[in-house]
Structure 1
Amino acid sequence: MGDFFKIFRAALIGCLVILAVPASQSAAGLSNKQVKVVYHLSEGIDQAASALHKIRNHLDVDPNAKITVVAVDYGVDFLLEGAKDKNNNPFDATVQTLVSRGVDFRVCNNTLIGRNIDRHKVIPEAKIIPAGMPEIARLEAEGYGYIKP
């Protein structure tokens, strides 16, 4: 009976090893996948300042992350010429730095029209898109995670 348990134990350990290998390979495969996220900004300067800080931190931890910022409503304000945070720091330098790290900034044209903002006041680093919410939905359909800071 002692031999039976030794053989059973060896077989059980073998099965566990076989089952563990695909699981570890699967987990390793997920860690190699590029993370794609869309940050949705709609609430103005304070939210934008906080979001830009979070995006910098995000890229510090995962420099290969693909980050797209979609700005609608009052979320477009930080992407306008001369925009400054509550400490009077201009946003454009931070945006330029993040663009150099691969972040994509998009501004809702419907918002510009609805708020009567001249499209030429949008800083050059930001791309004007037809509508923000459909853009967010499209990105999510492409596998982007959604973050509203």
Structure 2
Amino acid sequence: MPRLLLAFKAALLALFLAVSAPSHAADDVIKTVYHMSEGIPQASRAINNIRNHLAADPKAKIVVVAHGLGIDFLLDGATNQMEQPFAGAIGELAAKGVEFRVCNNTLVSRKIDASKVAMEAKIVPSGVAEVARLQAREGFVYLRP
């Protein structure tokens, strides 16, 4: 009887470990949220980071969430510090599956019409709530360039 109980406990432990251990299969997609809130210099860094990220991991799922000054690069006519438009880079990254999300609270508080937001971007009610939701409910890794 003790031997049977010991075998049962060992099987139960093995089952628990198999169920609770994270999967690290080679085909797992790593999901990353890039948090943008600092304006144009941060956006320039982020664009480069995201390009490098996708070059190293083409299967990566990337969502860029912007609020505060972080939305500026996603507005019509936005340019980087060298007066180069962001529109091309946004379109290029969106074509590779990168999603862009803009905080509606920021649009309202800054009195920016939603029509000024790049067509590739989706408006979400709250940028910070979106970052938290992606991390807590969808398992995204957090990066702040």
- Within the alignment, does 1:148 sit opposite 2:140 as a pair? no
- Within the alignment, does 1:115 sit opposite 2:99 as a pair? no
Q: Over the residues paired in the alignment, what is the CA RMSD in angstroms?
A: 1.6
Structure 1: segments with no counterpart, 5+ residues: 1-25
Output the amino acid matched with 2:29.
Q
Per the TM alignment, residue 119 of structure 1 is displaced from its structure 2 partner at its CA by: 1.0
Partner residue in 2 for 1:131 = 126
- Within the alignment, does 1:47 sit opposite 2:19 as a pair? no
- Within the alignment, does 1:99 sit opposite 2:94 as a pair? yes
Paired-residue identity, %: 52
- Higher normalized helix content (fraction of residues): 1
Structure 2: segments with no counterpart, 5+ residues: 1-20
Per the TM alignment, residue 27 of structure 1 is displaced from its structure 2 partner at its CA by: 10
TM-score of the aligned structures, taking structure 2 as reference length: 0.82
TM-score of the aligned structures, taking structure 1 as reference length: 0.80
Q: Deviations over 1:80-123 (max 9, x none)?
A: 00000010100010000000000000000000001111111001
Q: Of the two, which has the highest radius of gyration?
A: 1
- Runs of 4+ in structure 1 displaced over 3 angstroms? 26-31
Match of 1:87 among 64, 69, 82: 82
Per the TM alignment, residue 33 of structure 1 is displaced from its structure 2 partner at its CA by: 1.2
How many pairs are equivalent?
124
Distance 1:125 1:61, change over 3 A: same
Per the TM alignment, residue 57 of structure 1 is displaced from its structure 2 partner at its CA by: 0.3
